[in-house]
Amino acid sequence: MADTSSAPLLPRKKSPSSAAQYTRCASHAGDELRSFRACLRWMCVDHTDGLRSAGSWAVFFLLAVAAPSAVTLALPASAPQRPFDGQVQASLTLAAALAYFSLSSFLRVGLRRLLCIDRLRHDSDEVRAGYTAQLNRSFRILACFLVPCSLAEAAYEAYWYWAAAPFRSPWWNAAVCALDVASWVYRTAIFFMICVLFRVICYLQVLRMVGFAREFGRFAEVAVVLEHHRRIREQLRRISHRYRRFIILCLVLVTASQFAALLATTRPHATINLATAGELALCSVSLVVGLLVCLHSAAKITHKTQSITSVAAAWHADATIHAFDNDLEDPDPALPASTGYMAPANAYRLASGEESDDDDDDDARSEDSLDDSKLVPFQVNNMCFQKRQALVTYLENNRAGITVYGFVVDRTWLHALFMIEFSLVMWLLGKTVGIS
């Protein structure tokens, strides 16, 4: 039997057809998702069978619910008080519960479908290579978020248990400190993991939109471009439907926790120092960073998707201008009479500013160069002005993107959200410290 440890997730077929070049295969332990599976197992979010699912739920209740509750109840009454500890533990536990339940729900469809791996067979080699690189890079991004927060939390807990010494035995202090840090790291890792997964999925759509824009440079048929755009819209609709509940609940949770923190720290006679509010600040930073990762990823893919309309309009205008120039002013006798509308092969690069205006001698260009400014047949007997205009009109009235219950997550939505949050903050500060 052949070794599958290095078999690709989407193996090539011995077919010259580009549509049949890649095919789906069953998941196995040695494919490109082995790192994700290992990470999920180490984080105890493995629901591949009943036994592992029960173990994952047991670890979640132990580290996310039982551990922080036991630490809070085990501290003696004589220990220095941490006035914001209850709020911190509640915020982290709720965030971890939201992330864990969402991940458990997402993984029911399979990791390959969750990461849109099964859709890569329709994309180009460049999109596949970029997505594979992003999959490998996602763990570095997760480490960049998790490691600093974990080190800061470990340093804070070590400082507090060393300075306060709530238990007489140093071994008890060390054990409770380790349990507290483990609970913090677990809950933060679960929350960051789902945010990074959402970022990776959105990055795939960005790669697809870049490849979609290049379809205009290759002068694909209107039907092909339309089918490609509809496929991307359908994929974005599925992603939005899958993540919309997590995004809206995460937004509500982070907003509520931050307003509670602001209200607690601005109340009269509140003691604010490193020992009392350090953990609260670290918790707030972790939750806000995770939310910003999700909102930035959603807004980025929405912006990329909506900007394709300007690319299509530039392509339409450039093709129309060159068509009339060729037909009326300087017709090329070497072209067939049925060509109709003409356009240069580098029209998209000219429209997007990626091509210089310097014209070199034709002899200096290689015969197989793709950067050829000679006029080529533009959709013989198939493309016309009305088809291009219909495509541009369709793109103008069908702008895809990430949506949350019908609201498109774009820059305008983020600006409105910021103004609402800012107004609430100013209102709360006016009620507490007298800012008007």
Q: Residue 436: which pLDDT band, with cuts at 50, 70 and 90?
A: low
Q: What is the pLDDT of residue 74?
A: 84
Q: Is residue 81 part of a domain?
A: yes
* Nearest to 286, CA basis, from 11, 111, 95: 95
Q: What is the pLDDT of residue 371?
A: 38
Tokens 């220095």, residue located: 80
Q: What is the pLDDT of residue 84?
A: 86
Total domain count, the chain: 1
107-112: average pLDDT? 80
Segment 150-174, tens digit of pLDDT: 999 999 889 888 888 888 888 888 9
Q: Residue 216: which pLDDT band, with cuts at 50, 70 and 90?
A: low
Q: Is residue 402 part of a domain?
A: no
Q: What is the pLDDT of residue 324?
A: 57
Q: Is residue 315 part of a domain?
A: no
Q: Is residue 382 part of a domain?
A: no
Q: Which domain holds residue 298?
A: 35-302
Q: Residue 278: which pLDDT band, with cuts at 50, 70 and 90?
A: confident
Q: What is the pLDDT of residue 220?
A: 57
195-220: average pLDDT? 80
pTM of the model: 0.77
Q: Is residue 344 part of a domain?
A: no
Q: Is residue 100 part of a domain?
A: yes
Q: Residue 32: which pLDDT band, with cuts at 50, 70 and 90?
A: low
Segment 173-188, tens digit of pLDDT: 899 999 999 999 999 9
- State what percent of residues in the chain have pLDDT above 90: 22
Q: Is residue 11 part of a domain?
A: no
Q: Between residues 89 and 352, which one has the greater pLDDT?
A: 89
Most confident of 30-44, 130-144, 325-339: 130-144
Q: Between residues 340 and 331, which one has the greater pLDDT?
A: 331
189-203: average pLDDT? 91
